[in-house]
Structure 1
Amino acid sequence: MNASSNLIEQSLELAAARCADLTPLVYQRLFDEHPETPTMFRSQGSELVKGSMLALTIEAILDFAGQRSGHFRLIACEVVSHDAYGTPRELFIGFFAVIRDTLRDLLGDEWSPEMAQAWDTLLVDIDAFAGIAA
Structure 2
Amino acid sequence: MNPSPNPIEQSFDLAAARCADLTPLVYQRLFEQHPETQTMFRSQGSELVKGSMLALTIEAILDFAGERSGHFRLIACEVSSHDAYGTPRDLFIAFFAIIRDTLCDLLGDQWSPDIARAWEQLLADIDAFAGIAA
TM-score range, shorter chain: over 0.9
1:43 aligns with 2:43: yes
Question: Which structure 2 segments of 5+ residues have no match?
Answer: none
SS in 2 for 1:37: helix
The residue that corresponds to 2:98 in the other structure is 98
Deviation at 1:113, TM superposition (A): 1.2
Provide the rounded CA distance (Å) in 1 between the counterparts of 2:43 and 2:132. Answer: 33
The residue that corresponds to 1:9 in the other structure is 9
Once the two structures are superposed, residues 29-51 of structure 1 have per-residue CA deviations (whole angstroms, 9 ceiling, x without a partner) of 00000010100101111000000
Provide the rounded CA distance (Å) in 2 between the counterparts of 1:112 and 1:14. Answer: 11
Once the two structures are superposed, residues 64-111 of structure 1 have per-residue CA deviations (whole angstroms, 9 ceiling, x without a partner) of 000000000000000000000000000000000000000000000000
The residue that corresponds to 2:131 in the other structure is 131
Which portions of structure 1, spanning 4 or more consecutive aligned residues, are displaced by more than 4 angstroms? none
Deviation at 1:11, TM superposition (A): 0.2
Provide the rounded CA distance (Å) in 2 between the counterparts of 1:69 and 1:35. Answer: 34
Deviation at 1:114, TM superposition (A): 1.2
1:107-122 aligned within 5 A: 107-122=107-122
Provide the rounded CA distance (Å) in 1 between the counterparts of 2:43 and 2:13. Answer: 31
% of aligned pairs identical?
A: 85
- Equivalenced residue count is 130
The residue that corresponds to 1:68 in the other structure is 68
Provide the rounded CA distance (Å) in 1 between the counterparts of 2:16 and 2:88. Answer: 29
Deviation at 1:8, TM superposition (A): 0.1
Provide the rounded CA distance (Å) in 1 between the counterparts of 2:117 and 2:31. Answer: 25
Question: Which structure 1 segments of 5+ residues have no match?
Answer: none
Deviation at 1:14, TM superposition (A): 0.3
The residue that corresponds to 1:82 in the other structure is 82
